[in-house]
Chains A and B, each alone.
Chain A
Amino acid sequence: MTLLNPLGLLFLLAAPPLIVIHLLSRYRRRARVPSLLLWRRLESTPRRSFLLRLRYNHNLILQLAAVVLAALAAAQPRIAGAELAGVKNAIVVIDTSASMLASSDDRRRLSRAKEEALRIVRELPDEASVHLMEASARIDLSEAYRAGDSRLLDRIQSVEGSESEGDMSAALRRALAASGMQEGSRIYVVSDGAFELEESLTAVIRDVRFSLIGEELENVGITAFAQREVPHGPQLTEILIEVLNAGARRRETAVVVDVGKASLERTVELAAGERRRMVFRHEGALPAVFSVRLSAEDALAADNRAYATSGSGEPLRVRFRGARSFFLESFFGVHPLARLVGSSATPPYDIVVLNGVQDAQLSSGAYLLINSTARGVSAVGPSEEAEIRMSPSWNREHPVTAGVDLSGMQVYRARPIEPIPSAEVLIRSGPTPLAFAFEAPELRVVSLSFDLFDTNLGLLPAFPVLLDNAVRWLAPGAAAGSSGVRTGTALPLPPGGDFPRTVVRPSGEESRVAPEADGYAETDSVGIHRVRTPSGGERPVAVNLLSGAETDLSPRFTPPPEQEVEREPTVASAAGGAWIAVALLLLAVAVLLVDLVVWRRGL
């Protein structure tokens, strides 16, 4: 037998006061006897009266019995089903995505999910090995615990929700891989069912037990939030907002954009399932941080607000060394996130641009090498400078060259620069590398092996895109910029170095980030995260949910038909367990009634 709610045993704390009350009570049972002749001055009476007062106090015994029964009832005992007896290994997946933070009747889905997970674990054989998986945008798989280990129960109790979009398919894939689906292995998923599984998984989840605790709830949420400056406009900004009514009823809500001290407000009425986009216009400079919120009171709060930054935080400090370059100076002169600093500016710099510098000595930091070489990173090869006439090929996966169209690019002359093997070639023409990226724990380098005057790249639309990608990759803290990141995804950070890297969460809690880490992963909360930059300032980064899948709280997942049959024993066990608690409670009441009768009769 297991207890679903061990806290119910706290009722037992009523027992000691009860005993004290009975000890202090002056009430004694009275009994008429034919004669006191033989009862007087019995030798063994006095020293025993204290304990006897408890031992033969029928009312006390009955009341203690009632307390014990009530405590047991409150603890919700369950008898493990025979179905679970053969389970040796289990993975309990708790859905911790944003939809699990939805509340009904002042209870979050996550609270019910944890209770269900506790019930499952307590019904497992004590010796079974159990992993706990928390599945949101991030998937955390715990170490193995014994089912009877109190640390596992504590771990389940301490599970916290994430305001991020979940990926149950990824979680199940990982759980299936971890379990190996051997005999005696079992996967339990506790979720609200507000997800859709990949088609390919439906065939392999027949042995997965789903406990679906979700119900239909009304919810309106923000699913998109972006801003852009209107070209050629007099400091005019357009703010795009998309709102979704995922409930079954028509809803009206006010959409309020807070821009500094000013507010822009519009009331919209949304039909069931309707998605509405709207554009707000704002004249004047945007504050560093602005936000949008919905006035609607609904089940989920995480999607009723979103944040953005204007990109007007502290700009990247870009130090330029080597020959001057019209293209580079033009680019950094207009780039919204970067600012060139003079040679008199003191370090640290966010990015150092080397143009035509050979055999440079690089310390930690971010470097953009144009027609340059650096020790330990690249060297000039044995061949002569070559004219490249073949169309280059490029790495479409790397962040620096992703989304860049280099099909029209021509390089008239390139230096035969050989990157070190660990570098990743970004652009090559035949066997000749034209660009590469290198990443070490405290160093990031993007290198182009040609002069910008020896190529038509500077004249192509791809040029500013390529350099912008390079800047955002070299200084990822700044790249978060105005658009922000989604909850659950890593917040890019500038490369580590001598300066501390710290992220301040919306709650004010500060997190130190290891020097070797590329980003900050614990973005579970919607809000403004502040990234401490090398120069000591703070760069605000917006983190938003913006997920239609999470805004839609309705259970959409239906287990395969076989699952319904296999779930019955668990459901029956739970129902039977509830009867145990009810029966115990009734028994406690009956005992109290007997106590009353005993007291009335003075027995």
Chain B
Amino acid sequence: MKIIKVFMIGACLLGMDVFLHELAPGNLWCPPLLLFFAVWLGTRQPSLACLLVLWMLTILEDGLSSTPVGTGLARLGTLYLLSGMVAQKLSVQRTFGAVVLGASTCVLDLICWAILARLGFPDMALNEKLSTLMLPRLVLGATCAPVVFWVLDRINGRSASVDRVSGLRLDASKSR
């Protein structure tokens, strides 16, 4: 049941993400909600089931945004695993941690995207695109990510079970 709930939350965020991009096509200031979801999932629910949920969602994202299938998971899967590793070093439940995490994952996402583009689409004018996207993504990551994490925590009802000192989930500690 829990994993279905996580999938539904992700699907809603994906829907909102696509909706926002349809609403303002080409707008650089649309928040990458699925990216925030992947990072949130990596810091709160680092499990194989969640990775599979993310895989399904990224396939849907690729389909909905008409990009080659696999692009989404290559970026977001990497970030999911990285954020899972970072979570033990950084208190992502605190605002500062969430801001840093949001901004850095947005930049990392761009880097992943650049590597992918360099491998798969060498003709693309990458430098111009990256420089255009960098500032909006940094700002969006720093401002929107903490809000999205907070909302997702509330929705998932797991905020209470988080150790605010260590920033790690209690159930995750137990699982270790």
The yes or no verdict on A and B being binding partners is: no
